[in-house]
Amino acid sequence: MKTGSGYSGLSKSIENGYKKESREDRMIGKRYSFGALYENYANEAYRVDVNDNGIFDKADATYYSIDGAIIPDSCSGKKFVIKTSLSLYQPFASPCPLEGELVVSSGEREVTLRFLENQTVEVDVGSDGFVDETVNCQVVMNSDVCM
C-alpha cells in the first residue's frame, strides 16, 4: 500500500443503521445530501494508482462492488436490495461509472442497470436481457430516484 494522498488498494465497509451523508459531483461542483437506513450494506472499493505516482489523481480509477439493502429517505420507506454483478469502474475524473452492472430489487420488481462508457445507463426492467430504456448516468446516481 502506498502512502500519500492516494494509494492502490482495497477498502471494505459494512453499513448498518441510519446514515446521512453528502457527496460532490466533481463535474459541476454541486453537493448533494442523502439520508438512508442501511442493512448489511457491504461496499468494496479498489483504488488503482494507474501512473504509480502515489497520489490519487485524474489518471487513476476505482472499482466498486455493492451488496446489501438500503431504505433511502427520499423513497417513502421503500427497501432496495442492491447487488453488483459486474464491478463498477469509475475513473477519478468521471462523475459516473463507465463500466459495470448492478441488479436492484424492491419487492417483486427487479431492474438491471448497465453502466456504459458514454456515461449512459441501460435500464433492463425485469432483468430479462432486453434494454427497456437508456438514461443519462446522472439520473441514476441522483439520490432522489426511486423505482
The verdict on residue 1 lying in a domain is: no
Q: What confidence tens digit (pLDDT) does each residue in 127-139 have?
A: 999 999 999 887 6
Q: What is the pLDDT of residue 1?
A: 36
Q: What is the pLDDT of residue 3?
A: 38
Q: What confidence tens digit (pLDDT) does each residue in 89-123 have?
A: 998 888 889 999 999 999 999 999 999 999 999 99
Range of the domain at 122: 9-141
Q: Which of 67, 83, 59 is nearest to 8 (CA)?
A: 59
**Total domains, the chain:** 1
